[in-house]
Amino acid sequence: MQANQTKAIWHSESWNGEPVVLAGDIGGTNSNLALVKVADGSFDLLVETATPSNEIDSIMPAIHNLLEAATAKFPEIKVAVAGISGAGPISNNHCDLSNLEWNLDGTEIEMAFGFPTRIINDFEAISYGVPLLDLDNPEEVTHLPHTDGHDPEPIGPVSLIVGAGTGLGVGMLIKEGDRYRALPSEGGHACFAAFDLETEELRAHAQGSANTIVEIEDLLSGRGLNTILDYFILMRGMKIDETLQRILDTDALQRPAMISRHAENHPVCRDVIRLFVKVYGRVAADFSATVLPRRGLFLAGGIVGKNERYFLEGSQFIYFFEQNAREQVKKVLRKIPVYIVKDYSISLVGAAHAAWLLREELV
């Protein structure tokens, strides 16, 4: 299938010979591609395309269309290296995409277009995008001060990224001199540990009659919001009114957005978000106590971005983030800067950053 209807969106009308990286963020809904200019450590989008992923059976036509649009405006433009991220396991520069019937293969792309190509995991791309964020720009990040009002300065080499979306991504980024190295993780598949009576009830509900291990991702994800709603209805006996019935009658993939939308004026939906934020805070603290990310804890993913006000309201997230039986550990957690990532181009510029850093291995 061809991507003939893809429209190029220009972020800049100028290109002055800077090195250019082709970046990709391939998801179940859209295949986003961009050419990114690299200059003095900055990565700036030049042109971007978004192709519905179910309308193509390969990334090749989308790449072709992007390059065609770019060379029509700038005939001399050439791609130095490519970095493309996908949701799925990575092996030998190949990604089997979890939510699509086609895959990504770096060797195949390189043979077709002639530029070295690095295939990375989608959360690895977000991790590489973190050092490109302007922490002083409220359009890119929101600071979450600690309960005493303190907003710690980032120090040290370790950043931690935790992002709830379709699943739960967890990753670390290590600063090594002027370079960065992302360390992938399957932390979302760790066991969920209840920490009070409410979360013990929630864990038991999620476990159900199957007697299987409850993973953190089972609760901190889109489907986790659905599970928490079911918990309030089935375990807490909340009455199903017209609004809740509409949500329950909606396809499971669309339910999380409806829960978020009704949280402002529906008490049960509000309680779902409250418990989600509470669990998120405690889980982020557990990961933070493990790796001590004094350079920053970054909360990524669409769920946090769309529900930012509830993470800030009453310092609920930070309150549970700081809770620990040992006062010394509380003091350590209070030294960690916490941010919500709001820049949704982070995956594209992160993929470009990863490819640029790793280009020496590719050429």
Q: What is the per-residue pLDDT across 319-360, written as a single tens digit (0 to 9) for each? A: 999 999 999 999 999 999 999 999 989 999 999 999 998 776
> For residue 141, which amino acid is it?
V
Whether the pLDDT of residue 5 is over 80: the answer is: no
CB 216 within 8 A of CB 190: yes
Whether the pLDDT of residue 1 is over 60: the answer is: no
The CATH number of the domain where 270 resides is what? 3.40.367.20
CB 176 within 8 A of CB 156: no
In this predicted structure, what is the pLDDT of residue 83? 97
Percent of the chain with pLDDT over 70: 97
- Beta strand ranges found along 301-356 (DSSP E): 338-341
**Could you tell me if 100 and 147 lie in one domain?**
no
Give the range of the structural domain holding residue 44, as residue numbers without chain letter. 9-129+345-362
SS3 2: coil
Under the banding of pLDDT at 50, 70 and 90, the label for residue 185 is confident
Q: How far apart are CA 191 and CA 286, in angstroms?
A: 12
**Could you tell me if 140 and 113 lie in one domain?**
no
**Could you tell me if 273 and 315 lie in one domain?**
yes
**Could you tell me if 119 and 237 lie in one domain?**
no
3-class SS string, 78-121: CCCEEEEEECCCEECCEEECCCCCCEEEHHHHHHHHCCCEEEEE
Residue 148 maps to a domain: yes
CA 128 from chain centre, in angstroms, equals: 11
* Mean pLDDT within 215-226: 96
Whether the pLDDT of residue 3 is over 60: the answer is: no
Residue 3 maps to a domain: no
**Could you tell me if 164 and 303 lie in one domain?**
yes
Residue 1 maps to a domain: no
The CATH number of the domain where 352 resides is what? 3.30.420.40
In this predicted structure, what is the pLDDT of residue 225? 97
- The answer for residues whose C-beta is within 8 angstroms of residue 200's C-beta and 6 or more apart is 194
Average pLDDT, the chain: 93
Whether the pLDDT of residue 363 is over 60: the answer is: no
* Mean pLDDT within 232-248: 93
**Could you tell me if 71 and 104 lie in one domain?**
yes
Residue 4 maps to a domain: no
Closest listed residue to residue 30, CA positions, set 6, 11, 46? 6
Least confident range from 1-15, 145-159, 188-202, 205-219: namely 1-15
Under the banding of pLDDT at 50, 70 and 90, the label for residue 361 is low
**Could you tell me if 116 and 227 lie in one domain?**
no
Domain count within the chain = 2
Residue 286 maps to a domain: yes
In this predicted structure, what is the pLDDT of residue 275? 98
In this predicted structure, what is the pLDDT of residue 163? 94
Residue 335 maps to a domain: yes
**Token pair belonging to 300:** 């990524």
Residue 284 maps to a domain: yes
**Could you tell me if 164 and 46 lie in one domain?**
no
In this predicted structure, what is the pLDDT of residue 27? 84
**Could you tell me if 258 and 300 lie in one domain?**
yes
**Could you tell me if 211 and 103 lie in one domain?**
no
CB 203 within 8 A of CB 194: yes
In this predicted structure, what is the pLDDT of residue 41? 84
**Could you tell me if 338 and 349 lie in one domain?**
no
* Mean pLDDT within 151-160: 97
In this predicted structure, what is the pLDDT of residue 359? 76
**Could you tell me if 33 and 104 lie in one domain?**
yes
Q: How far apart are CA 222 and CA 140, in angstroms?
A: 23
Residue 2 maps to a domain: no
